[in-house]
Amino acid sequence: MNSIILVSIIMTLVAASTPILLAALGELVVEKSGVLNLGVEGMMLTGAVAGFAVAFSTGSVALGLIASVIAGIGTAMIFAVLTLSLTANQVATGLALTIFGVGASSLIGAGFVGRTIDRLGPLFPEALSGHPWLRALFGHDIIVYLSLALVLGVSLFLRRTRAGLILRAVGENDASAHAIGYPVIGIRYAAIAFGGALAGLGGAYFSLALTPMWADRLTAGRGWIALALVVFSAWKPGRLLLGAYLFGAVMTFELQAKAAGITWLAPEVLAMAPYLATILVLTMMSLGRKTGRLDAPACLGKPFSAS
Amino acid sequence: MSSIITRRTLVAGGAAASALPLLGRNAFAQAPLGVGFIYVGPIGDHGWSWTHDQGRKALEKQYGDKIKTSFIENVAEGPDAARALRQLAQAGNQLIFATSFGFMNPTIQVAKQFPKLKFEHATGYQRAENVATYNARFYEGRAVIGTIAGHMSKSGQAGYIASFPIPEVVMGINAFTLAARKVNPNFKTKVIWASTWYDPAKEADAAKALIDQGADVITQHTDSPAALQAAEQRGVFAFGQASDMSAFAPKAHLTAIVDDWSGYYIKRVKEVMDGSWKSGDVWGGIKDGFVKLAPFNAAMTPAARAGAEEVEKGIVAGTLHPFTGELKDQKGVLRLKAGETAPDEMLSKMDWYVDGVQA
C-alpha cells in the first residue's frame, strides 16, 4: 500500500468519524447533566436540512453551518420544554423527537431535492497540503479541527472547571444540587441546547461536506451510533474520540478491504465489523477499569421537579 | 369477534359518509378513477421511489380530472405494507401499484380481500386474477454503460457499488462487465457490497475506496447520487442510477440508466378505464421505453458514443442480447453455449459471476 492510498484512507476515516463524534460529544454533555435525549438522529436531520437550505439559498456554507447549529438548538428546545418544564418521559420524548426530525427535515427539504452546493473545502491553503503526509494533517475542513478542539474543550470543562463540576453534580444528584442552590432545570436546558447545537452541526457535516446535497434521511442512522458511543465511552470525551475514530476506521477499512478484493469474508460480516469492533474495544476498555462501578450519571433519565 | 363487527360497521359508515358529497356530482359526471401507489422509500431519494412517483405524476398529467392519484411513501416491507395497501383499497382506489419486491406477499394477501380492485406489483413473481406484475430489464441499460466504461476507462478497472447479492443486482454486474470486456478483454469490475440500498455517506466512501484501489469509472446499484459526487471530486467518471443525476456531477456523469414507468402506468390506467385490464407479467426493456439513457456527456469519446449507440440499437432491434453465449462463469463452468441467449428464467435466478468480476 503506497502512502497516497494510506493518506486517502486517513482522510476518508476522519471525514466519516467527524459527524458521529460531534453528535456523540453533544449527547455526552447532555447525559452528564442527567438527561437522556434519544432524539439525536432527529436533531442531526433538522441540522442537515437547515444547513443545506441556507447554504443553497445564500450561497454561503458558513451561513449554512450557523443555521444548522440554530436548527439543532431549536429542535433540542422542543425536547427540553417537554421533558424539563412539563416533565414528560425522556425516552418517549426523545424517540418522538427523532420521528419528528425525520418528518420535518423531509418537509423542509422537499424543495431542495436534486440541488447541489459547493462543498465545504479544506481550511488551509493547498500549498500546506501538497505532500501527501502533510495533507493528512492540513487537508481537512474547519469542522474536523473544530470537533477535535471541542473534545479537548469539553474534557477540560468537565474535569477542570467549576461550571463543569456543577454540571456533573446536577447529573449525579439533582436534589442535592438543587438544595445547595444550583438551578438544575436551567443547567439542563443549557446542556440540551449544547447537545442540539453539536447534533445539528454533525448533521450539517453530511449535507455540506460529505455529500453536498439534500436527500431524505441523509444521516442514515448515524445518530443512533452516536448514542451508543456515549455509553461505550463510559461518558469520557477522550474515549469518545477514540471510539468515533475507531468506528470510522473500521468502516473505511471495511470498504477498502472489499475494494481490494478480499472476498473470503462474507460482505455481511464485513458490514458488521465496525459495530463489532467498536463494541469489543470499548467494552474491553471498560473491563480494564479496577473500580467496576457503573459509569452512568446517577440521575440519567430521571425527571426532576423543584417542588 | 364483536370488535371486528364494530370495525366493519365503522368502515362501512365512514365509506357511506365519505360518499355523500360525491352523490350530487355523480349524477352529472363519472367519479374519477382512484389510483394508489405505495413506495418503499421517500420520494425524495432521487432513485427508485422517485422514479415511480414520476410515473404517478405522468398519470396525472395524462388524465387530469379523470383520475385521482394518491400515494404512501416510506412503507416498510412486511406487515406495514398490508396495512398501507388496505388503507388505499378502502379509500376507494380501484387500481393500486405496489412498487417494491418486498410488497409481494402483502399485495397477494390484500388483493384476495378486495377481489374487485386491481393490483400491480413491481418486480415480483406471484400473480393472481387481480394481481399483475411488471419489471424492467435494467441489465440492458447496464450493457450500454458497460460498453461506455470499456471505452472510457484508462485503468481498465471499474468500481461497482452494489447493495445486496440478489439476482437483479448480480445480473447488472454481469451485464456491465460482459459489455465492458467486449471492448477491453482485460477489463475488471471491483464490487463493494454496501449492504444497504440507501446510505449516502457510505456510498460516497465506497466510491472513494474503489477509486483509491485503481478504479477510474464508478457505477452503483444503490439509490443516492453520493457516489457520483465522490467521483466528481476525485476527477473520475461515473454513471447515474434510476434517474438523470448529471446535476450532482456535471463532469463525472457520463450518462444514467433512467427508469421510466410512466408509459406502463398510462397504458394500465387506460385499460382499467375501458375494462380491458387483465393480470399478466411484463418485463420491459429499452425497446418498451421502461429503460432509457440520460443524455451523453460531451466528455465521451466518439468511439464510446458510437459503441453505446450500437449496443442500444442492437438491443432495440433484437439482434443483440447482453447475455449471449459462449458464456462461462468465474469458475469456468459453461453457462451458455455459443450463439445461445439467456432465457428469462436463467436471468431472474442469476447467482454466479462472469469472468472479470471481483466480488
Q: What is the DSSP string of B146-210?
A: HHHHHHH-SSSEEEEEE----HHHHHHHHHHHHHHHHH-TT-EEEEEE-S-S--HHHHHHHHHHH
B190 touches chain A (CB under 8 A): yes
**Beta-carbon separation of B193 and A258 below 8 A:** yes
Q: Which residue has the higher pLDDT, B78 or B96?
A: B96
Q: For residue A127, what pLDDT is reported?
A: 73
Residue A203, all three cell numbers: 448533521
Residue ranges of chain A whose CB lies within 8 Å of a chain B CB: 5, 8-9, 12, 15-16, 19, 106, 109-110, 113-116, 119, 206, 210-222, 251-252, 255-256, 258-261, 263, 267-268, 270-271
Selected residue of A258, A268, A269 to mutate for chain B interface (largest B Cβ count, 10 A): A258
Q: For residue B292, what pLDDT is reported?
A: 96
Predicted confidence band of residue B16 (pLDDT cuts 50, 70, 90): very low
Comparing alpha-carbon positions, the chain A residue that sits nearest to B205 is A12
Pick A210's closest partner by Cβ from B42, B201, B213. Answer: B201
Comparing alpha-carbon positions, the chain B residue that sits nearest to A206 is B201
Return left, alpha or beta for A37; rule: phi > 0 is left, psi -120 to 50 is alpha, else beta. beta
Q: Which residue has the higher pLDDT, B19 or A163?
A: A163
Alpha-carbon distance B248 to nearest alpha carbon in chain A (angstroms):
6
Pick A267's closest partner by Cβ from B193, B210, B233. Answer: B193
pLDDT single digits (tens) A146-190: 999 999 999 999 999 999 999 999 999 999 999 999 999 999 999
Alpha-carbon distance A305 to nearest alpha carbon in chain B (angstroms):
39
Helix, strand and coil content of chain A, in percent to the nearest 5, comes to 75, 0, 25
Pick B200's closest partner by Cβ from A109, A215, A270. Answer: A215
Average pLDDT of chain A to the nearest whole number: 91
Q: For the residues B123-144, what does the mean pLDDT come to?
A: 95
Q: For the residues A264-282, what does the mean pLDDT come to?
A: 79
**Beta-carbon separation of B195 and A211 below 8 A:** no
Distance CA A33, CA A187 (A): 8
Residues 216-275 of B with CB under 8 A from A: 224-226, 229, 233, 247-248
Nearest to A117 by CA among A53, A70, A50: A53
Measured between beta carbons, the chain B residues lying within 8 angstroms of A268 are 193, 195
Peptide bond before residue B271 is cis, with ω within 30 degrees of 0:
no
The set of residues, in sequence order, having a beta carbon less than 8 Å from that of A123 and lying 6+ positions away, is A138, A140, A141, A142, A145
- Where does residue A115 rank: exposed (0-12), middle (13-18), buried (19+ CB within 10 A)? middle
Measured between beta carbons, the chain B residues lying within 8 angstroms of A9 are 209, 212
Selected residue of B46, B202, B245 to mutate for chain A interface (largest A Cβ count, 10 A): B202
pLDDT single digits (tens) A219-263: 999 999 999 999 888 899 999 999 999 999 988 988 998 888 877
Predicted confidence band of residue A17 (pLDDT cuts 50, 70, 90): very high
Three-class SS state of B288: coil
Three-class SS state of B255: strand
Residue B321 Cα to chain centre, angstroms: 19
Q: Which residue has the higher pLDDT, A12 or B8?
A: A12
Q: For residue B3, what pLDDT is reported?
A: 37
In this structure, what DSSP letter does residue A84 have?
I
B202 touches chain A (CB under 8 A): yes
pLDDT single digits (tens) A284-300: 777 766 554 567 899 99
Nearest to A21 by CA among A116, A119, A143: A143
Orientation angle between helical segments B262-273 and B48-63, nearest 10 degrees: 40
Predicted confidence band of residue A1 (pLDDT cuts 50, 70, 90): low
Q: For residue B318, what pLDDT is reported?
A: 94
Pick A116's closest partner by Cβ from B194, B196, B248. Answer: B248
Predicted confidence band of residue B24 (pLDDT cuts 50, 70, 90): very low
Q: For residue B7, what pLDDT is reported?
A: 40
Three-class SS state of B145: helix
B86 pLDDT above the threshold of 70: yes
Pick B209's closest partner by Cβ from A114, A256, A268. Answer: A256
Alpha-carbon distance A165 to nearest alpha carbon in chain B (angstroms):
37
The set of residues, in sequence order, having a beta carbon less than 8 Å from that of A224 and lying 6+ positions away, is A40, A41
**Beta-carbon separation of B44 and A210 below 8 A:** no
Identify the H or E element spanning B121: strand B118-122
Measured between beta carbons, the chain A residues lying within 8 angstroms of B46 are 113-114, 215
Average pLDDT of chain B to the nearest whole number: 90
Distance CA B66, CA B69 (A): 10
pLDDT single digits (tens) B265-298: 999 999 999 999 999 999 999 999 999 999 999 9
pLDDT single digits (tens) B27-85: 445 689 999 999 988 887 778 889 999 999 999 999 999 999 999 998 988 888 999 99
Predicted confidence band of residue A305 (pLDDT cuts 50, 70, 90): confident
How many Cβ pairs closer than 8 A exist between chain A and B?
Answer: 111
Kindly give the pairing relationship between strand B157-162 and strand B217-220: parallel
Q: For residue B2, what pLDDT is reported?
A: 35
Distance CA B83, CA B66 (A): 27
The set of residues, in sequence order, having a beta carbon less than 8 Å from that of B301 and lying 6+ positions away, is B151, B152
Q: For residue A128, what pLDDT is reported?
A: 76
**Beta-carbon separation of A271 and B248 below 8 A:** no
Q: Which residue has the higher pLDDT, B46 or B329?
A: B329
| From A114-118, A226-230, B7-11, B103-107, the region with the lowest mean pLDDT | B7-11
Measured between beta carbons, the chain B residues lying within 8 angstroms of A114 are 46, 247
pLDDT single digits (tens) B179-193: 999 999 999 999 999
Measured between beta carbons, the chain B residues lying within 8 angstroms of A115 are 247
